[in-house]
Amino acid sequence: MELRIADCGFRIAHYEVSVNPQSIIRNPKLKRSHFRPCTNNFGKQKMNISQHYKIVAMGILLLLPISAAGEQPTKSAGRTGVQAVTVDEPEGQILSFHHLAGATVVEMRGTKLEPRASTRMKIQSRPGFTEIDINAGEIKGLQPARRFGNDFHTYVLWAVSVDGEAMNLGEITFQSGQPVSIDVTTPYQTFWLMLTAEPDFAVNDPSPVVVLYSVNQNAIETSHKGLAVPGKLLYYTYYSQYDTSPGALQPEIPNELLQARKAVELASKAGVLASPAREGEEALPDELRTRQTLEQARGYLQQAEKAYRSGADSHEAAQFARTAAQVAENARALGLGAVGGIYVRQMERDLDKLRAEREKLAASNQQTNSEMATLKERMEKLTAELENAKQGGLEATARAAETEKGLAELRRTLEQSLQQAKDQNDRLRGDRDKICEELRRQLASLGQLTQQGGNMVLTLASDILFDLGSYELKPVARENLAKLAVLRLLLFPEGDIRYEGHTDRLGDDNFNQWLSEQRALAVYRYFLEDSFGHQRGLAAADQRLTNVRQLLATNYKSGASGREQLLKGLGETVVGKGEREPVEDVPGASERNRRVVLLFPPAQVGNVTSICEAAQSQR
C-alpha cells in the first residue's frame, strides 16, 4: 500500500464530556458513534454522554511530514499538524448509496499490510442515517493489531466522507480469538470505508496503518449497488506518528486495560501535556482544563487497574478502562488546543517585543543623530581654529597641533559611535525580520498573497473552501480559516476586511452571482463568529451576524425577497462578483476563477505590518 502525504493546516477543538462509567460497557451492541465528538447520535440506543465542541484556542502549528505505513518513526508521538493521507490501492472506490433503497453488499479488501484479510458487509440507507452490518463470519484474516507496533491494540472501522472527514464507527472486537459482529450507523450517504490499527477504541482520528478498504462492487452480485463516485481514497488525520517497533502479545492482560494504558500514555505526550506546567507563569484556562482531563483519565485507569488486580467482576474493570481511554483521548485532543493558545500568547509577546525594539531603535537613532550633530559642530569649530592657526604663523604651531589632535580623537569617537549604532540596528533588524518573515510565511501558506492599491490581498481557492456548487465550508476550510483568524487578530486587530466572492463561467449567470455572494458571506460569518469568541465588538457585530445568517439560510430561488436590502446593510464588506472578474479568460469551468478574495486594509500605526514595512524601508 502506498500512502501519499500532504500538509493541510490544523484543527482546533474543545470537548466537554460528562460520562457515567457504569453506562458504557453493559450493552454489547453499543455503537461507537455515541462516543464520537462533533457528530450526532444516529444509533438505536442512547447514552448519558454530553458532547459539545467549542473553539478554545487559535494556534498555528508547524506541519511535520509523516512516512508511509510500515515505515513510521519508532518513537511514540502525540498530535501533530493535520495530514492528508491517500490510500492508493487497486479498485478502491467511493460509493454513494441509494436513499431508502434495499441493502447493498460491499466488499473490503486487505491492503499490502494485511493482504489475506477481507470482509463483506450490508449497507442500507435508513431515514436519517445509513446502517452498516458486518457479520462475524465475514471477517477473515485479521491478525492481532499488536503486530503493527507497540502502540496498537485494536482495529477501528471508519466511514470517510468525500472530503476526507473520517468518522469512527466502532471497534472490531474479538471473543475467544474470533471477531464479533458489528452493527453501526453513519449520517453519511456518500463515503468509503477503511479499517485501521489503533491504540484504543476511542481515537478521534485514524492512524496511517490501513489494513482494509472498500472496493468497487462490479464483481459482487446484488440487487442494489451503490453509485461509484470518482475521487481518491483520502482522509485527514492529526494522529500520524506511532511506535511501529514490534510489540509482544500480552494475552494475560485484558485488551480493554491495554487500550486504556496506551491512551493515557499517548495523551501525556500530546501538546502541552508533553512538558510539565511552567513555574512562575499562570496557566491558560485551556491548559488547566487539559491537565485536569488527563488527571481524570488517570483516575479512571487507576480504578481499572485496582479492579483487575483484585480479581473483581471483569465487567467493572472493563468499564473503568474504556472510560479511561475515552477521557484520555479527549485530553489528547485538548492538548493541541492548549498549544494553540500558548502559541498565540507567545506571538503576542513577540509583537510586544517587536514594538518595544522599534521604539528602542528609534530612540537610539535619535540619540545617535544628536551625538553626530554635536560632533559635527565641534569638528567644524576645530577645523576653523586649525585654519586660523596655520595662517597665524610659527607662533601658532603648537596650538595647531593641539587642534589637529583633537580632530583625530573626534573622528575616532564619531566612527565608534556610528559602528555601535550600526551593530545595534543590524541586531534589532535581524530579530524583527525573523518574526516578520514568519508572519508573512504563515499568511502566505493559506493562499496567494499580493499587494493591491495599498491593501494586502489574500486569494483563497474556492475548491479548498467549498464543494462544487456549494457555499457550506468544508472541514479543512474551517481549519485554514481558524489559522487565518489568529493572524487577523495579530495583524489587523482593529481593521475591517473586505470579502469578495468569485465564480467561473460554468452555469447560469444569476446563479453564479448568488453563489459568489453566499461564499463570501460564509467566510465573513466565520470571522464574525470568531470575533464573538474573542469578545471583540459584540454589540456592533450582532446585527451584522443576524443579517448574514439570514442571507445564508435562504436558497437561490426563494431567497430574493429582502435580500438586496440585507446586503446593502453590510455596506462594502461583502461583495459578490459572480463571473465578472476572471483570473483566466476561459468560457467554462476554471479552478483559478473560483475563489474568495480577502482585502486587508492598509497597515495601521502600531501593528506588525507597519513594523515590517518600516524595516524594509530602512534597508
Look at residue 269 and tell me if it is in a domain.
no
Note the pLDDT of residue 194.
96
Look at residue 472 and tell me if it is in a domain.
yes
Compute the distance between CA of residue 143 and CA of residue 130 in angstroms, rounded to an integer.
28
Look at residue 219 and tell me if it is in a domain.
yes
**Residue 464 belongs to domain with CATH number:** 3.30.1330.60
Look at residue 305 and tell me if it is in a domain.
no
Check whether residue 223 and residue 358 sit in a common domain: no
Q: Amino acid identity of 160?
A: V
Residue ranges in the chain whose pLDDT is less than 50: 1-80, 219, 394, 534-540, 604-609, 611, 614-619
Look at residue 275 and tell me if it is in a domain.
no
Asked whether 92 and 233 are in contact (CB, 8 A), the reply is yes
Check whether residue 427 and residue 526 sit in a common domain: no
Check whether residue 489 and residue 378 sit in a common domain: no
Look at residue 280 and tell me if it is in a domain.
no
Check whether residue 421 and residue 458 sit in a common domain: no
Check whether residue 544 and residue 404 sit in a common domain: no
Check whether residue 381 and residue 508 sit in a common domain: no
Note the pLDDT of residue 280.
58
Closest CA to 519 of 450, 455, 587, 578: 578
Check whether residue 420 and residue 452 sit in a common domain: no
219, 249, 279 — which closes off a domain? 249
Residue 158: burial class (beta carbons within 10 Å; 0-12, 13-18, 19+): buried
**Sequence-separated (6 or more) residues with CB below 8 Å from residue 63:** 7, 8, 9, 10, 80, 81, 82, 83
Domain count, the chain: 3
Note the pLDDT of residue 618.
42
Compute the distance between CA of residue 214 and CA of residue 195 in angstroms, rounded to an integer.
9
Check whether residue 33 and residue 56 sit in a common domain: yes
Check whether residue 471 and residue 428 sit in a common domain: no
Q: Whose grid coordinates read 471473543?
A: 175
Is the full-model pTM beyond 0.85?
Answer: no
What backbone phi and psi angles, to 5 degrees, belong to 254? -55, 140
Check whether residue 451 and residue 420 sit in a common domain: no
Output the average pLDDT for the chain. 73
Note the pLDDT of residue 345.
64
Check whether residue 6 and residue 150 sit in a common domain: yes
Residue 312: burial class (beta carbons within 10 Å; 0-12, 13-18, 19+): exposed
Note the pLDDT of residue 69.
38
What does the buried/exposed string (b/e) look like for 486-495 if buried means 16 or more CB atoms within 10 Å of the residue's CB?
bbbbbbbeee
232, 249, 266 — which closes off a domain? 249
Asked whether 244 and 72 are in contact (CB, 8 A), the reply is yes
Q: Amino acid identity of 120?
A: R
Note the pLDDT of residue 534.
45
Cell numbers that stand for 20 in this block: 457515567
Instruction: Write the DSSP string, 84-102.
Output: EEEEE-TTB-EEEPPTT--
Look at residue 289 and tell me if it is in a domain.
no
Angle at CA 145, nearest 5°, toward 139 and 147? 125
435, 456, 484 — which closes off a domain? 435
Of all residues in the chain, the percent with pLDDT exceeding 70 is: 68
Domain holding 389, by residue range, is 349-435
Look at residue 329 and tell me if it is in a domain.
no
Check whether residue 199 and residue 229 sit in a common domain: yes
Note the pLDDT of residue 172.
93
Longest CA pairwise span in the chain (Å): 123
Strand-strand pairing, 574-576 and 498-502? parallel
Asked whether 466 and 473 are in contact (CB, 8 A), the reply is yes
